[in-house]
Amino acid sequence: MTAQLIDGNALAKQIRGEVAQRVAALAARGRQPGLAVILVGDDPASQVYVKHKVADCESVGMRSILERYPASLSEADLLARLQALNADPTVHGILVQMPLPKHIHPQRVIETISTAKDVDGYSVQSAGDLVCGLPGFRPCTPYGCMKLIETTGVDLKGKHAVVIGRSNTVGKPMALLLLQANATVTVCHSGTPDLGAHTRQADVVVAAVGRRNVLTAGMVKPGAIVIDVGMNKKDDGKLCGDVDFDGVKEVAGWITPVPGGVGPMTRAMLLVNTLESAERDAT
Ligand code: NAP
């Protein structure tokens, strides 16, 4: 292996340690950050995600409020509950676990969460703040990817970054964060012909597609930073990313593994956003 491994577990642990110290400083002033996590329905993957988010809060001394509702919950009742949480001064972040049952409109739900508590950074206001370079909550996954890239010590100014994928939650905010860091950014998607022609020129590649082996060794510039956001299942049921890890690690300069790369950082950045919301509230 020629690439250096970017260890998301280790970085997330370090960030949780820093968050715990700042939570303790708030506690000394009689404040405790609170994150409300809402789960509607019984999607098995969502149940695991919310369990982790609650455990993460506890590990750093934050309060978590987990509310579970049946899939039959009406949209009106969910929006009413969000309004109540918006008004609750002990709640600094609100997260509604996606996907929601089909009868509930996800964007209406996201837009009901107060911008001041939108710790997922999914609202139109948060997205607009990012576009305009204004302070605001950054979506946790691309925010975590930026922290992973920072650990390489590579200055992105003048570098070419290619983002594969253009979802509102990963690809687009990722491209904007890289742009803010002065990279020259190309965004590729399912309509991009000859993906490799773009990625071979990239100093940084972020793969956020949801398909195995989207990025293979022949598509990577030697020495590049490769960040793998994808979460897929191998034939044996094990988790893997979008990147052909075994091949690409022989060409890249740095690479994130799956699992143990972006996933733990997404969770860590949720804690950071919630903490920052509470710190803002305390000033
Ligand atoms: P998404 O909404 O399905 O978006 C996927 C994107 O990939 C789309 O923009 C799509 O293009 C593009 N795409 C599809 N096939 C392509 C191809 N052959 N070449 C180039 N682009 C292609 O997915 P997402 O929510 O962004 O998530 C992406 C992956 O990251 C998933 O595996 C998800 O599970 C994972 N994820 C991981 C974390 C984590 O914490 N580790 C967090 C979030 C997501 P079009 O727009 O043209 O359709």
Q: What is the CATH number of the domain that holds 80?
A: 3.40.50.10860
- Give the residue, by CA position, lying nearest to ligand 1 atom 39: 263
Mean pLDDT within 137-163: 98
The domain that contains 223 carries what CATH number?
3.40.50.720
For 192-210, the pLDDT digits (tens) are 999 999 999 999 999 999 9
In a domain, 16, yes or no: no
In a domain, 47, yes or no: yes
From ligand 1's centre to the CA of 86, what distance in Å?
30
Residue 119 phi, psi dihedral angles, 5° rounding: -70, -10
Residue 1: what pLDDT? 62
Separation of alpha carbons 71 and 63, rounded Å: 25
Mean pLDDT within 158-163: 98
In a domain, 218, yes or no: yes
Any residues with CB less than 8 A from the CB of 167 and at least 6 apart, and which?
208
116 or 283: which leads in pLDDT: 116
In a domain, 272, yes or no: no
Residue 237 has pLDDT above 80, yes or no: yes
- Structural domain of residue 93, as residue ranges? 31-114
Supply the pTM of this predicted model. Answer: 0.97
In a domain, 61, yes or no: yes
Claim to verify: residue 151 and residue 248 sit in the same structural domain? yes
In a domain, 101, yes or no: yes
Separation of alpha carbons 260 and 254, rounded Å: 14
Beta carbon of 263 within 6 Å of any ligand 1 atom: yes
- Closest to 189 measured CA to CA, from 211, 210, 213, 209: 209
Domain count, the chain: 2
Per-residue pLDDT band at 189 (split at 50, 70, 90)? very high
Separation of alpha carbons 179 and 14, rounded Å: 26
Claim to verify: residue 258 and residue 144 sit in the same structural domain? yes
Spell out where 190-279 has E strands: 204-207, 225-228, 232-233, 239-240, 254-255
Beta carbon of 188 within 6 Å of any ligand 1 atom: yes
Separation of alpha carbons 237 and 234, rounded Å: 5
Residue 283: what pLDDT? 84
Claim to verify: residue 58 and residue 150 sit in the same structural domain? no
The chain-wide mean pLDDT, for the chain, equals 97
Separation of alpha carbons 171 and 20, rounded Å: 30
Distances (CA, A) of 143 to 17, 127, 201: 18, 13, 23
Q: Which atom of ligand 1 is nearest to the CA of 267?
A: 40
Residue 278 has pLDDT above 70, yes or no: yes
In a domain, 229, yes or no: yes
Claim to verify: residue 110 and residue 143 sit in the same structural domain? no
Claim to verify: residue 153 and residue 204 sit in the same structural domain? yes
